Amino acid sequence: MSYHLKNEKDVQSHVKKLKNFYGELSVFVLVITVSLIIWLLCGGGYFWPLWIALIWGVVILLKASKLDIVMPSLYEGAHSMREKLPFIRPQWEGEKAQEIMKKMGKSVADLAKEELKTSRAAAKPKKAATKAKATPKKKAKTATKKAAPKKTAKKKTAKK
């Protein structure tokens, strides 16, 4: 583990990851405990807390392996398996995007230009619509203010 910790910044980053891991581990223990209590209060039956413990436990075990808390070979094995799955590889996303664009007959630059045009076009009408809506409201307020004094004036003349 210490082979990749080269300076103080790396050590601080590792300690922060350890802190987060132990926080997640404590939440895991709490959730499993609550799940077991709920299972017991509901009369037992099918042991459904097993699925929570099993799935989340495997994830925590892999994280512990990555942080060199338990056997680092577990994480390395999972990582090598992940590299074999085509849609999880880091390059897959870019390769798939290129493949789809070739089918469409477009390049990355063409798609970026189209997206920019549509986002600009969508932004302009919203601004114009907002200004158009704001203007009548202001006129309506001023019209009601002018109308109100006339009504009170009529009432005063009627009382005389």
Asked if residue 94 belongs to a domain, the reply is: no
CA atoms of 147 and 139, how far apart (whole Å): 12
CA atoms of 107 and 94, how far apart (whole Å): 12
pLDDT for 26: 96
pLDDT for 42: 94
137 and 66 both lie in a single domain? no
Specify the number of domains making up the chain: 2
- Among candidate residues 43, 59, 84, the one where a domain is terminated: 84
Asked if residue 91 belongs to a domain, the reply is: no
CA atoms of 14 and 71, how far apart (whole Å): 17
For 9-25, the pLDDT digits (tens) are: 888 998 999 999 999 99
Q: Assess whether pLDDT exceeds 80 at residue 55.
A: yes
9 and 70 both lie in a single domain? yes
For 71-130, the pLDDT digits (tens) are: 878 777 777 776 677 666 667 778 888 888 888 877 667 777 777 787 777 766 555 555
7 and 68 both lie in a single domain? yes
CA atoms of 27 and 128, how far apart (whole Å): 50
15 and 50 both lie in a single domain? yes
Asked if residue 141 belongs to a domain, the reply is: yes
- Give the pLDDT band (50/70/90) at residue 160: very low
Asked if residue 41 belongs to a domain, the reply is: yes
52 and 109 both lie in a single domain? no
Burial 73-98 (b: 16+ CB within 10 A, else e): eebeeeeeeeeeeeeeeeeeeeeeee
9 and 77 both lie in a single domain? yes
Contact 2, 31 (CB under 8 A): no
Asked if residue 95 belongs to a domain, the reply is: no
120 and 75 both lie in a single domain? no
